Amino acid sequence: MDRTLIHATRFSDAFTDGVDQFMSLVRDRFHEDDAILCPCCNCLNQFSQSQNDVHDHIYLFGMSATYTRWVHHGEVVVAEIVEYVEDANEPGHLGDVLDVDEPDNEDEGTTEILAYLYTVAEEDGQQPMFVKVLEDAKHALCPGSIQSRFSFLVRMLHIKSVYRISNTTFSAILKLLSRSFPNCDLPDSYDKAQKYLKELGLGYELIHVCDNNCVLFWKDLANLENCPKCKESRWVDVDGAKRLPKKILRYFPLIPRLKRMFANKATSEEIRWHKDQWVPVDNEMSHPADSDAWKDFDDVYPSFVEDARNLSLGLATSGFNPFGNMNTT
């Protein structure tokens, strides 16, 4: 799909043709009376408008420079790869963003990470669960199903999160489904469903924390019963019951997630986009690489910049006040 209109001069031939192509994509995916999100520079996919109004908004204000993959308007990113089941490329599903295709010979990043995973499996003398999850994503949940076991579990967990279903209720639903459809090989509890997805790097680690936030009971401090600074007990005093930590930090390991990004063909191309395909536009912020901080880092560490697979990480402070002064923005 041609995206020239995003950076084309307003009302030029390239811009006009691009708008027409975008609206053609919309008409192919939506009924003419359906309201759709408006991707113009003012609405930024936050407000729904009629298709005619969206057409006019894009002409008047231009399309958002950051909206380069039109997932809100029917463009399927990798659905035909994810499901591995015929006619399963339905738009708008959570599974559409999870690509588990076999690596292409030309995709070095994908080949390297999968080779690493199989090497680890050989060293351990067993097949890693991650490989099994990949295999599950290629086969139908059961005969005649248009979903894979993997995509089904991801969507079930997504529904649980959106509608705030309790763990107990979710486990009861899974138990009913697993007994009603024994050929589908479904987990019968919430814990088993979580464990399954953790193999993709989607899990987290629980780290006990001092009640006064002095230290983490981690690494060298993992076996301590009391905080080494304030001497506060690590545990809640519960007579005759399992000891419970007073405070817990949920830690999302970074490295497994970065590995998964390069194991995904589509994502690995996108995170190298700033080096392989990005074309800067004057007076326009279309990518973090446009920022002064990114450019300064590139000047200081030129050897880091040479490899497009190197990742620059940023810390966002939006939502908390690191200096304790509420009057400071």
> Do strands 48-49 and 244-245 pair parallel, antiparallel, or not at all (unpaired)?
unpaired
311 or 199: which carries more pLDDT confidence? Answer: 311
What's the rounded mean pLDDT across residues 87-106? 37
Encode pLDDT of 211-221 as tens digits.
999 999 999 99
pLDDT, the chain, mean: 77
What's the rounded mean pLDDT across residues 281-291? 84
For residue 251, list its beta bridge partners.
205
Q: How far apart are CA 239 and CA 67, in angstroms?
A: 56
The pLDDT of residue 175 = 93
The pLDDT of residue 228 = 95
Q: Which two tokens stand for residue 118?
A: 């199989």
290 or 130: which carries more pLDDT confidence? Answer: 290
Q: How far apart are CA 114 and CA 258, in angstroms?
A: 13
Q: State what percent of residues in the chain have pLDDT above 90.
A: 21
DSSP state of 238: -
The pLDDT of residue 211 = 93
DSSP state of 63: B
255 or 179: which carries more pLDDT confidence? Answer: 179
Q: By C-alpha distance, which of 78, 112, 137 is closest to 259?
A: 112
pLDDT of 42 strictly over 90: no
> Contact, 52 vs 36, CB < 8 A?
no
Kindly report the length of the chain.
329
User: Where exactly are the structural domains of the chain?
Assistant: 4-73, 78-204+252-271, 205-250
φ, ψ for residue 109 (rounded to 5)? -60, -45
pLDDT of 139 strictly over 50: yes
Q: Which two tokens stand for residue 12?
A: 């030029």
| Least confident interval from 36-40, 48-52, 99-103, 306-310 | 99-103
Instruction: Please spell the DSSP secondary structure of 158-202, one letter per residue.
Output: HHHHHTT--HHHHHHHHHHHHHH-GGG---SSHHHHHHHHIIIII
The pLDDT of residue 169 = 93
262 or 36: which carries more pLDDT confidence? Answer: 36
The pLDDT of residue 78 = 41
> Contact, 82 vs 99, CB < 8 A?
yes
Q: How confident is the model at residue 259 (pLDDT cuts 50, 70, 90)?
A: confident
